[in-house]
A = this chain, B = another copy of it.
Amino acid sequence: MELFVSQFVNKIDKKGRVSLPSIFRNALPQNSKNEIILYKSLKHNSIEGCSGDRIKDIADRINKLDFFSEDQDDFARSILSEIIPTNIDKEGRFLIPDYLKKHSNITSEVTFVGQGHYFQIWEPKAAIERQKKSRARLIKKKKSLSSIIFPIQRSYEK
């Protein structure tokens, strides 16, 4: 299976359409190249997207829960009712629903971020911010890591 990788910035046209990057389209499963599933990210003000196949698997698991349980209802409610199947037109474009645009402050441009089995859609500036923070956090961890591993070398550093 292909993965969603790399980053792309694309424009939203007057009709609200935006091109799904070509290599993301290629990463969709053969049988459903003209549909993606969109939903709010649980962690960020961004949108996440994936193939329909992925959702079918999740739905199967939810349906195996006890039919009368609260959990079954909650999961169905929070996951299945909050996803938006979205058609991709012949040119590879799709529409982002208004409430998802609001959620992620998207207006005229978006940044697609490959995340492996799924991808994210960000307002471009927010994407850059997110990138910085993410990197900073990594560097911080590295430092503390090296302070554990190389405590002596650090004393030479400044």
Contact = CB atoms under 8 A, between A and B. Distances in A.
A137 interface: yes
A59 B1 CA distance: 11
Contact of A71 (B4, B85, B144, B153): B144
A25 to B, nearest CB: 14
Given A5-B83, A77-B130, A67 B62 contact: no
A95 interface: no
Interface centre among A4, A5, A67, A116 (most CB of B within 10 A): A116
Interface residues of A, number: 56
B7 A81 contact: yes
B61 A148 contact: yes
Contact of A77 (B1, B80, B85, B134): B134
B67 A61 contact: yes
A155 interface: yes
A54 interface: yes
Contacts of A1: 156
A125 interface: no
Contacts of A54: 152, 156
Interface of A: 1, 3-7, 23, 42-43, 54-59, 61-63, 67-68, 70-71, 73-85, 113-117, 130-131, 134-135, 137-138, 141, 144-145, 148-149, 151-153, 155-156
